[in-house]
A and B are shown apart, each in its own frame.
Chain A
Amino acid sequence: AQSVTQLDSQVPVFEEAPVELRCNYSSSVSVYLFWYVQYPNQGLQLLLKYLSGSTLVKGINGFEAEFNKSQTSFHLRKPSVHISDTAEYFCAVSTYNQGGKLIFGQGTELSVKP
């Protein structure tokens, strides 16, 4: 079975500072990895995904993530955050044999302060 661990439940950061949200996964088969963002009272929006190939993935809103197979990690980074990045961020994993099911981590609340 697959599992996802987001290592930080809350990350406070000042505006224009860099940020890293950490995600580790566990799986016995090859995985597809995703980061989603959820703004208050909204659904989830796909930030980026890793399927195969280059381990550095660029997404929307200036976010990027790096897949590290040896460390089973998929950390999300942004070099300079804005107040508008304040939201809940979910890392998720799927595999070819789970019927398209996404397994989500517990989420990281990013709070950007002025």
Chain B
Amino acid sequence: DTEVTQTPKHLVMGMTNKKSLKCEQHMGHRAMYWYKQKAKKPPELMFVYSYEKLSINESVPSRFSPECPNSSLLNLHLHALQPEDSALYLCASSQDPKGQGIYGYTFGSGTRLTVV
């Protein structure tokens, strides 16, 4: 299995809703990432998990709450989002738990989130 699987593929939520994005990989990668991508823009890093521990938070608002329950699973909990949070949310994993930056990422296909 060489894939990163993200669910759901599409999500529409109201500003008062609570929802979660899910990401799963079975490649034995111990580093996992959340990126946000707006239309016609490059991905922007949100969070990095290394060995199931949060290692980087790029000053993301608290309405985004990441969770890494085990080495294969990464969640992003969403609460009280704003319309400007509408974007493609990409999960990625890497053989790079030491944060050496030499392996590149395997990306999932993303969840397209629309906040109304």
- Contact (Cβ within 8 A) A43 B31: no
The residues in B between 25 and 80 inclusive whose CB is less than 8 angstroms from any CB of A are: 31, 33, 40-43, 45, 48, 50, 55-56
- Name the contact of B42 in the complex, choosing from A42, A51, A94, A107 (C-beta under 8 A): A107
Asked if B109 lies at the interface with its beta carbon under 8 angstroms from chain A, I say yes
- Contact (Cβ within 8 A) A51 B102: yes
How far is it, in angstroms, between the C-alpha of A49 and the C-alpha of B105 when the chains are bound? 11
Tell me whether A100 and B48 are in contact in the complex, defined as CB-CB below 8 angstroms, given that A43-B108, A49-B104 are known contacts: yes
How far is it, in angstroms, between the C-alpha of A102 and the C-alpha of B97 when the chains are bound? 14
- Contact (Cβ within 8 A) A43 B42: no
A26 to chain B, nearest CB (A): 16
How far is it, in angstroms, between the C-alpha of A105 and the C-alpha of B31 when the chains are bound? 22
- Contact (Cβ within 8 A) A42 B110: yes
Band of interface residues on A: 20 to 34
Tell me whether A102 and B105 are in contact in the complex, defined as CB-CB below 8 angstroms, given that A43-B90, A43-B110, A107-B41 are known contacts: yes
Tell me whether A100 and B90 are in contact in the complex, defined as CB-CB below 8 angstroms, given that A32-B101, A45-B107 are known contacts: no
- Chain B interfacial residues counted at CB < 8 A: 30
Closest 9 CB pairs of A and B: A94-B101, A104-B42, A43-B107, A99-B99, A100-B99, A44-B107, A43-B109, A100-B96, A100-B101
CB contacts (< 8 Å) of B96 on chain A: these are: 100
Asked if A67 lies at the interface with its beta carbon under 8 angstroms from chain B, I say no
Question: Which residues of B does A touch, CB under 8 Å?
Answer: 4, 6, 31, 33, 40-43, 45, 48, 50, 55-56, 90, 92, 94, 96, 98-102, 104-110, 112
- Name the contact of B105 in the complex, choosing from A46, A98, A107 (C-beta under 8 A): A46
**19 chain-A/chain-B pairs, Cβ below 8 angstroms:** A32-B101, A41-B112, A42-B110, A43-B90, A43-B92, A44-B92, A44-B107, A46-B104, A51-B102, A90-B43, A94-B102, A96-B102, A98-B101, A99-B56, A100-B98, A101-B101, A104-B43, A106-B41, A106-B42
How far is it, in angstroms, between the C-alpha of A107 and the C-alpha of B105 when the chains are bound? 17
- Contact (Cβ within 8 A) B109 A42: yes
